[in-house]
Amino acid sequence: MAEIFKSGVAKTKEKVERKSLLELRKVIQVLGARHLFTSFATFPPSVCFETQDDGEGVVVFLRQHPIVNLGWIVGALLMLTLSSVFGFFPPYANLPAGYQFVVTSGWYLFVTGFVLAKFMGWFFNIYLITDERVVDVDFLNIFFRRISTAKIEEIQDVSVTSSGAMETFFGYGNVFIQTAAEVSQFEFLAIPKPDVVGKILNRMIDLEEQEQIEGRVK
């Protein structure tokens, strides 16, 4: 394809997408916190991702509710306090002081690694809704992550579930998105304000259908 033709297409596409993003701003409120560790924000100002297209804007930024970290935080604290009772166990108590230091240091190193792995898993596993698609970023380890996407027009159904005392009290739940894309179902698990996210998605689907009826070409 000639470069000059490609450039023209890109410019046209950018104008259309920016227009669609402006339309979404008219019907979707700016919600959520704007700090580094936020779990919910609409129209976040400084969020981008690897496969983002020119002019594509992030409408909703999500990660799991912070309360999901409570379990491993409590577990880490218990593991840290466990080192204080090592001296009551004969195998450890009978070791020379130097070996005891090595064992204790190794234990603290293990707990530190456990905490870092859990925190990074929470921090880097994110869900995005842009003006063009839904994006699921799965952080598998520091060397590999998987990004799954589906266009808004490929979404077939959106369902929201929130059950249990914890989910009701802290206001989080799950959003399941059925699509006609390569990935048939997206699962936004334990996210804040699932009802709001579901309404935003349904509103975006309605706008997308309206734009297609009006002859919008992407």
The alpha carbons of the chain give a radius of gyration, in whole angstroms, of 23
Q: 185-206, pLDDT tens digit by residue?
A: 999 999 999 999 999 999 999 9
Question: 168 lies in a domain?
Answer: yes
Confidence of residue 95 (pLDDT cuts 50, 70, 90): confident
Question: 142 lies in a domain?
Answer: yes
Which of 100, 119, 138 terminates a domain? The answer is: 119
Q: Are residues 187 and 130 in the same domain?
A: yes
Asked if pLDDT for residue 6 goes beyond 80, the answer is no
Q: Are residues 54 and 81 in the same domain?
A: no
Question: 34 lies in a domain?
Answer: yes
pLDDT at 92: 80
Q: Are residues 134 and 40 in the same domain?
A: yes
Which of 87, 119, 151 terminates a domain? The answer is: 119
Q: 8-39, pLDDT tens digit by residue?
A: 333 444 444 456 778 888 888 899 988 999 99
Tell me the CATH number at 141.
2.30.29.30
Question: 105 lies in a domain?
Answer: yes
pLDDT at 12: 41
pLDDT at 201: 96
Confidence of residue 1 (pLDDT cuts 50, 70, 90): very low
Contact 41, 182 (CB under 8 A): no
Q: Are residues 14 and 41 in the same domain?
A: yes
Question: 179 lies in a domain?
Answer: yes
pTM, 2 dp: 0.82
Contact 73, 114 (CB under 8 A): no
Tell how far CA 82 is from the center of its chain: 33
Please state the domain count of the chain: 2
Q: Are residues 54 and 154 in the same domain?
A: yes
Q: How many other CB atoms are found less than 10 A from the CB of residue 64?
A: 20
Q: Which residue has the higher pLDDT, 114 or 182?
A: 114
pLDDT at 215: 67
Question: 218 lies in a domain?
Answer: no
pLDDT at 65: 98
Confidence of residue 216 (pLDDT cuts 50, 70, 90): low
Q: How many other CB atoms are found less than 10 A from the CB of residue 129?
A: 24
Q: Are residues 16 and 56 in the same domain?
A: yes
Q: Are residues 197 and 115 in the same domain?
A: no
Q: 46-64, pLDDT tens digit by residue?
A: 888 888 888 889 999 999 9
Q: Are residues 135 and 193 in the same domain?
A: yes
CA 170, CA 87: separation in Å to the nearest integer? 40
pLDDT at 130: 95
- Angle subtended at Cα 140 by Cα 156 and Cα 183, rounded to the nearest 5 degrees: 20
CA 20, CA 211: separation in Å to the nearest integer? 9
Q: Are residues 57 and 156 in the same domain?
A: yes
Q: Are residues 46 and 81 in the same domain?
A: no
Q: Are residues 178 and 209 in the same domain?
A: yes
Q: Are residues 190 and 87 in the same domain?
A: no
Question: 91 lies in a domain?
Answer: yes
Range of the structural domain that residue 99 is part of: 70-119
pLDDT at 93: 80
